[in-house]
Each structure stands twice: as structure tokens, then as C-alpha cells.
Structure 1
């Protein structure tokens, strides 16, 4: 990445989804500990609960960002994934149609050369010659327009 970067979009998991995930994981951890006490494997189960809790915290903190520099787009699904896409490779960017695929979390392979960087909710479709990206964003219209504007600046040089 060269020069300064401009944050185009940042999306996070909604509070409602965070509460559902935390509640489900909390119940799971309670069940693991409750069943471990009579079976005598509390130490092992306690370690498992700690690992599950750490992974849950990482998932609840996922954010999807799109940043632009003079030459590249940097798409991230923090803390798990980062990809640099040359602006000259951007073929198109448009709001994604609403579907159940925009309701997942994390980095996903969606088939047909399509990858998702998702935290639920609205998204854009970013097309490059190599693959198609489905990227969560709170404002698909302005995000797609901004990506195309940055890509157009590079093409006009």
C-alpha cells in the first residue's frame, strides 16, 4: 500500500446479532461446565470454555472495511483477512441484491469465483477479472459510487 489511505466504508456486526451470538455461546459454555462437574473433567472443559470464549470475542469484534489509496483498494475482514486489489482491476461495483448470503459473518467462499467479507446486512458486489466480492457496507449506494470514483481516478491518469 502506498501513500495515504481513505476509509470508504466500515461495517460491523449489529448489536442484535451480537446479543444472539453471545447468548447462544453463553448457554453452550454453561452446558459444558454443568456437564463437566459430575463427570470429573472440569479442567479440560474449563480450557474448552476459555477457547470458545476467546473465539467468540474475536467474532463479535469482526469489522469489514474498504480503504482506497492512489493505486489500490484494501478490503479487510478484521481480524481474520486482508486483500489488496489494484484499482485498475476494478471492473464494476454495485449494491448487492438483498439475500440470505448478506446475513452471514466472516470470510466466505460463495462459489463461482465469489468471495464474501460479511458482517450481515447490506453489501456491495465488487467485480474484478479474477473474482467477484460480496462486501458488507452500511451504505451500498455511496460505497459503490466511491469505489468506482477511486477506480476512475486511476484510469483517467
Structure 2
């Protein structure tokens, strides 16, 4: 495993607080309206989905021929190492704040949990992938791909 990133504790607390207030509001309005059972079921579903979202992790793993990027539990993609053009730390921006799998436009996909990230370029698309240590992760990916830093292959 080259890298694993998770949603920060601070972000988890904010999400849990907002969802908790939402669930409280649903139950508080359900009691006088007489739809408590249906509302309680809705709150249970929201709570389960929230727990699932709070457990998102982004991983990058290398094998002999491939790089596998995952946004667990939602998405996984295997990229042949020979297709890697470049990997570098991403500039800090609001685009790296967010969670999950995202299409960011212009053939760019994000696997994000907020915080620092790398930019991984392949012939078909560009990836923005969360990682706790962008410098190490980018260098490790290039090393696995057999491309020293600074060597960019044109396609």
C-alpha cells in the first residue's frame, strides 16, 4: 500500500453534528404529526448512510503491473503502470475539499476525503487523489511506474 487517507476527525464531527440535528428535527416534527414510525425509519436510514460516508477512505496500491486507486466503499479503478504519465502534489484549492468520487470536469476525476492530494495523469484522464503525504506518494507512484521525477512521456 502506497497511501491511505481518511476523512479528518474535525470533518467527521461537523458531518455528524449536522446529521444529528437533522435527525432530531425529523423526529421532533414527526411526533405532533403522527408519522413517528415512518420518520424513525427515515432517521435510521440517514444514520446508517452517514456512518457509511464517515468511513470513506482513499487508498493507492501498487502491484507488479498496475496501480489500484480506491474510494472505499464506493469505487475502485485499476490503472496499468505503463499508462502513468506523471504524478505530482496537487496545488491546494477548494477542489480538494470534499468527500467521495467526483467528476471535476475536463476529463478529471477526484477520489477525495479532503486535505492534501496528488495529481495523477494518464492518457485518458487526470486523477485528483487524496493522500496524507503528496510528495512521498507521487514519488512512490513514479518509482513503481519506472519513471524518475521529471521524466514525462508525451502521448
1:61: how far off? 0.4
TM-score, L = length of structure 1: 0.92
Unaligned 5+ runs, structure 1: 1-6
Indicate the residue corresponding to 2:150 in structure 1: none
Measured in 2, the distance between the counterparts of 1:132 and 1:148 equals: 15
1:43: how far off? 1.0
Indicate the residue corresponding to 1:129 in structure 2: 123
Spell out, residue by residue over 1:13-49, the C-alpha distance to the aligned partner (whole angstroms, 9 max, x if none): 0000000000000000000000001001111111110
Unaligned 5+ runs, structure 2: 148-155
Aligned-CA RMSD value:
0.7
15, 19, 22: which is aligned to 1:25? 19
Aligned residues, how many?
147
Measured in 2, the distance between the counterparts of 1:130 and 1:44 equals: 46
2:52 matched to 1:78?
A: no
Structure 1 runs of 4+ off > 2 angstroms? none
Indicate the residue corresponding to 2:10 in structure 1: 16
2:60 matched to 1:66?
A: yes
Indicate the residue corresponding to 1:140 in structure 2: 134
Secondary structure at 1:70 match in 2: coil
1:105: how far off? 0.3
Measured in 2, the distance between the counterparts of 1:106 and 1:82 equals: 12
Indicate the residue corresponding to 1:95 in structure 2: 89
Spell out, residue by residue over 1:36-69, the C-alpha distance to the aligned partner (whole angstroms, 9 max, x if none): 0100111111111011001100110000000000
